[in-house]
Structure 1
Amino acid sequence: MIRLLLWLSLIGLLAACGGGEETAVPPETDTVNGNLFFILQEPHRQALMRYDVATGDVESLFEVPQNAWLSHMAASPDGSQIAMTYAPSPGENEIQFGYSSLYLLLADGRSEPRLLIKRTAEQEVFFNPAWSPDGEWLYYSHVKPLDEDAFTFTTTLERVELATGMVEPLAENGIWPRVSPDGRFLAYVNIDLDSLAAELILAETDGSNLTVLVPRDCFVTLDSPFFSANGEWLYFSAVAEQASSATWWEQLLGIEVAAAHNLPSRWWRVPVSSGEPEPITSEARVGQYGSLSPDGRTIAFATQSGLYLMQPDGSEVRLLLEQSASDSLSWTP
């Protein structure tokens, strides 16, 4: 159980990367459009939300029932449905451990989640869903117990073909998948389970021909990669400074799971053709997850302090919506 809690803590911890100088002003609605999907995190409330960037309207699509848990989500490229890693309530007065299955939800604000892949073991977890640009594949990470009595487990990056239900394993210990806009490449984070160090990987969409773009010794941790519109850059959130040893190990051991997002990070980018990572923001934030606008000209990112917009070079960071939203973000037309 300790190893599984450590891994679940690490999943949360790796969502803690980001920052820049912001100005809390309304969005420039004449140039920025589309819908942002995010998970609202409030005391005693969790909800899947849609934000209209042009009008500023916010709509709740799914209110998470009491004692249920929505860990991650990703909107389809056309914005018609949402992939969710979701743990329904285990029952009244029962403990919610976050053991999740993979669901689909119509983005009409009236539907209930539909089960896509059900967990087959009690201590099983699906997380980090991501769509292919053509909407035909869903990528995700899958924690599965090897021996429930010994609390040993394996983590695999997988994808499922929605038309057939065929599941393909792609990489061991792979998390945070994202597919390039042209559908040619897959980026993900590989975790070394002994050292818990993270490296950024580029591969073919079937997991083959992998290249390490950012090795494990560059950052304390990194997460949340996504591609530029032309596919020439990979953006990611990273923690460059080591936290105090007490806080670090308390978080990793699950002693303070609720504080697992307390490592602020900044946005970085690295050339897909290989090269040195470069920081693009100066201020660090907690729980960052980024998404590119449909026209490729603007980046949105979610944090525990709100939703932000910035230019692809990291400039002109400004607050868009002051609501706690981290770990997931999608921008659709």
Structure 2
Amino acid sequence: MLLRFRLVMIVALLALLVGCGGTGTGTLGFGRTTGGGTAGAVSGCPDAPGPITGPLVFGANQNGLAAIALDGSNVMTLVKPSINDRAYDPFWSPDGKTLAYTFARPSTNPNLSWLQVGMICGLDQATGKGRVLLQAVSPSESLEDATWTPDGKGFIVTHHQPQLDSQGNYSGDDVALQRIDQGGKPQTIMKDATSPMLSADGQHLVYVHVDPNTNAMILMVAGADGRNPQALTNQRSAFITIVNPHWSPAGSQIVFTASGGASKAEAAPARGRSLVERLLGIDVAEAHGLPSDLWMIGADGQNLQRLTNKGLDDPRATWSPDGHSIVFVGGGFGGIFRIDPATKSEQMLSKQGYYGGIALK
């Protein structure tokens, strides 16, 4: 997730430089309990204050995560990181007993202290206990975008490996998808790729291919092992960025976040903030990223549709368990909404919500 945050940090670093004039994956931990870890611990994952009672988990203010009931009640802060840390990209395990998410903090490499480095943390739904699910040994490697395998015993993740020049300065970022099974070593299944998600039956993988030369993004599908990749979007789709693809429960549709997009695609009518949203205090945030909207496409690459036409700031979406609706968080614009993909009608569930993704069981 949070390619936007990475880009913002890189741009900020370059600006400072203008103003002023190792590889290898290592080993990873899987399922290690932290034993009362706190957000400030060097290698641990924080605990939630108690059992996770709400099925809907979302990115909240102060770079944390919160849970809520579908009727908007019982808001519970799950993770409240320290000022330099972030918790994002929640994803429920197939049995609904563990919430995985990315927990990132500044690199301990003194040359890369500006760079956020992620590991995969877990929260036990019944107790709120935190534990490390996946963590790289290198102080600069980052793991994020975890998607569970259907048996709940493994993950496919995005692996980031910063590249350094001869002076030890950041010169780029190699990204790849890795499969990591319990007790096994990481296996790279796709290079130049991010935002993986396995279909519910575990047979198909959707992800975003990132051209290493142009940074152009293409939505792709492949087998679970990365073989037989096929493009769902192309240059005619006119997308500038693509993130966070999510399979429908039946595996026939994919919802994703994108900026740009061909004007000829079937679109929802343009919509600003409603009177209810204004009265509830959902403010227009500063434009941290390119204006984005939610899109939907068939697993065969047909029937591309724009679901929203708001120019939101990094919205993220997931499907309801029955596949009849899509729930999304508005990113910097705030708010949690339910949208009917057939009619594109929306219902506001809560004024809560911010950057950081969304998960529903």
TM-score range, shorter chain: 0.7 to 0.9
Q: 1:138 to 1:48 in 2, by over 3 A?
A: same
Take 2:325 and 2:302, find their aligned partners in 1: how far apart are those partners?
23
Q: Whole-Å Cα distance in 2 between the matches of residues 236 and 6 of structure 1? A: 15
Per-residue CA shift, 1:155-175, capped at 9, x if unaligned?
1111211x3243221111111
- Structure with larger RCO (C-alpha < 8 A, sep 6+): 1
2:202 alignment partner in structure 1: 183
Q: 1:281 to 1:66 in 2, by over 3 A?
A: closer
1:278 counterpart = 2:305 = yes
Asked if 1:58 corresponds to 2:75, the answer is yes
C-alpha distance in 2 between matches for 1:37 and 1:52: 9
Ranges of 4+ aligned residues in structure 1 off by more than 6 Å: 10-13
CA deviation string 1:276-298 (max 9, x = no partner): 52223333322111111112222
| Contact 1:75–1:330 (8 Å) recurs in 2 | yes
How many Å separate the matches in 1 of 2:97 and 2:123? 9
Rg: which structure is higher? 2
Distance between the aligned counterparts of 2:286 and 2:179, measured in 1?
30
Task: Map Cα deviations across residues 90-123 of structure 1 (whole Å, 9 max, x no partner).
Answer: 79xx9663112222222346423x2233233232
C-alpha separation in 2, matches of 1:260 and 1:191: 23
**RMSD (Å), alpha carbons:** 3.2
Using the alignment, how far apart are the partners of 1:227 and 1:302 within structure 2? 17
Letter in 2 for 1:102: I
When normalised by structure 2's length, the TM-score is: 0.70
Q: CA 1:174–1:50 in 2, change beyond 3 Å: closer, same or farther?
A: same
Partner of 1:292: 319
Choose from 216, 226, 229 the match for 1:197: 216
Contact 2:245 2:256 in 1 (8 A): yes
Q: Secondary structure at the match of 1:214?
A: coil
Q: Which runs of 5+ in 1 are unaligned?
A: 14-33, 243-257
1:75 partner amino acid? W
Q: Report the Cα offset of residue 181 of structure 1.
A: 2.2
Unpaired runs of at least 5, structure 2: 12-53, 263-284
The one-letter code matched in structure 2 to 1:235 is V
Report how many aligned residue pairs link the two structures. 287
Identity between Structure 1 and Structure 2 (%)? 24
Partner of 1:47: 64
| Deviation for aligned residue 1:187 | 0.3
1:111 equivalent among 129, 139, 156: 129
Equivalent position to 1:307, from 327, 336, 341: 336
Tell me, what secondary structure is at the counterpart of 2:63?
strand
| Aligned match for 1:127, one of 111, 131, 144 | 144
- Whether the aligned pair in 1 keeps the contact of 2:63 and 2:356 (CA below 8 Å) is no
8 Å contact kept, 2:219–2:232: yes
Post-superposition offset of 1:145? 3.1
**Given the superposition, is the C-alpha separation of residues 217 and 150 from structure 1 closer, same or farther in structure 2, using an over 3 Å criterion?**
farther
Aligned mates of 1:12, 1:293 — CA distance in 2: 35
CA 1:228–1:87: 2 relative to 1, 3 Å:
closer
